[in-house]
């Protein structure tokens, strides 16, 4: 049985940000419940990275714009003969509800930014070994509190991200499902095509090939070069079949 690897590549800045935020949100829950230093530092590092992303741009405004854009796309779909109108209406209601929650929520990341423990750990993360017990006695003590106290604190932190998480999940699901995978063929490890205002490329490749894609481009045009994982001895076939969705 072949193992296929899914590669995703953003074709604009907003999608680049959203994929990074999605990745960081997923990482937050990997090592829960937090019971030791290593798991705690993984958690706090991802919180810090999230806050850095939020500080670089207005994530909420971009998401609200995208919710409106998706509603307009659904409106256009509702005029197509034979389309499932009840399904379209259900998704539209989801988009509206998500937008209302996001609009009324506090500024994204505000609660995390104001938390004293998160702030203390965040300051020390850039220093090599800077989270030792003598550097961060507060974290050392926090890790000795009863597990249920830590769990309750983390639940509050993660709950503050729920409006963002729900909206982002909904939007990325709609974008990912906007186009089917189609079989394509690269010649001598190279493939290019028009993007047709796409936001995201999704590419499936067999693990057996031991190749990975290097993708460059933007919403109107993109190019894919397939590179061998073993840069010295790997071989790129003259013709390579792969699955591509331009979302």
Asked whether residue 104 carries a pLDDT value surpassing 90, the answer given is yes
Tracing tokens 């994929």 back to the chain, one arrives at: 19
Residue span(s) of the chain under CATH 1.10.3900.10 come to: 31-177
pLDDT tens, position by position, 146-197: 999 999 999 999 999 999 999 999 999 999 998 999 999 999 999 999 988 8
Q: In what order do the strands lie in the sheet with 221-228?
A: 4-10, 200-206, 239-246, 182-187, 190-194, 221-228, 211-217
**What pLDDT was estimated at residue 86?**
86
**What pLDDT was estimated at residue 171?**
96
Q: CB-based contacts of 55: which residues, under 8 Å, 6+ apart? A: none
**What pLDDT was estimated at residue 55?**
93
**CATH number 2.60.40.10 is the correct assignment for the domain at 31-177:** no
Report the percentage of the chain scoring pLDDT > 70.
100
Helix (H, G, I), strand (E, B) or coil at 203: strand
Higher pLDDT, 233 or 98: 98
Supply the angle between the helices 162-176 and 13-28 in degrees, to the nearest 10: 120
Residue 67 pLDDT class (50, 70, 90 cuts): very high
CA–CA distances in Å: residue 143 to residues 19, 54, 139, 158: 31, 27, 6, 18
Q: What is the per-residue DSSP string for 151-175?
A: HHHHHHHHHTTHHHHHHHHHHHHHH
**What pLDDT was estimated at residue 76?**
83
Domain 182-246: give its CATH architecture: Sandwich (2.60)
Q: Rounded to an integer, what distance in angstroms lies between the CA atom of residue 111 and that of residue 95?
A: 25
Residue span(s) of the chain under CATH 2.60.440.10 come to: 182-246
The most distant pair of C-alpha atoms in the chain lies apart, rounded to whole Å, by 68
Rounded (10°) CA dihedral 213, 188, 221, 200:
-30
Report the percentage of the chain scoring pLDDT > 90.
83
Calculate the average pLDDT of the chain.
93
Q: Phi and psi for 48 in degrees, rounded to 5?
A: -60, -45
Asked whether residue 22 carries a pLDDT value surpassing 90, the answer given is yes
**What pLDDT was estimated at residue 231?**
87
Asked whether residue 219 carries a pLDDT value surpassing 80, the answer given is no
Range of lowest pLDDT (10-19, 22-31, 37-46, 86-95): 86-95
Written as six digits, the tokens of 167 are 């909206």
pTM of the model: 0.92
**What pLDDT was estimated at residue 207?**
93
| Mean pLDDT of the region 30-35 | 92
């Amino acid at each position: 049985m072949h193992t296929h690897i899914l590669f995703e590549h953003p074709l604009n800045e907003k999608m680049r940000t959203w994929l990074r935020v999605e990745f960081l949100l997923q990482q937050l829950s990997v090592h829960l419940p937090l019971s030791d230093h290593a798991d705690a530092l993984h958690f706090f590092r991802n919180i810090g990275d999230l806050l850095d992303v939020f500080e670089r741009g207005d994530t909420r405004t971009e998401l609200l714009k995208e919710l409106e854009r998706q509603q307009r796309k659904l409106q256009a779909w509702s005029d197509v003969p034979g389309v499932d109108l009840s399904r379209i209406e259900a998704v539209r209601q989801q988009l509206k509800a998500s937008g209302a929650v996001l609009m009324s929520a506090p500024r994204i990341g505000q609660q995390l930014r104001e938390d004293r423990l998160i702030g203390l750990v965040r300051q020390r993360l850039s220093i090599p070994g800077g989270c030792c017990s003598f550097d961060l006695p507060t974290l050392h003590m926090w890790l000795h509190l009863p597990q249920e106290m830590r769990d309750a604190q983390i639940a509050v932190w993660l709950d503050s991200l729920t409006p963002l998480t729900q909206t982002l999940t909904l939007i990325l699901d709609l974008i990912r499902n906007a186009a089917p995978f189609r079989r394509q063929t690269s010649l001598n490890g190279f493939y290019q095509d028009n993007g047709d205002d796409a936001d995201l490329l999704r590419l499936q490749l067999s693990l057996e090939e031991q190749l990975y894609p290097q993708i460059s481009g933007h919403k109107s045009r993109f190019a894919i070069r397939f590179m061998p994982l073993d840069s010295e001895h790997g071989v790129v076939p003259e013709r390579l079949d792969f699955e591509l969705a331009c979302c």
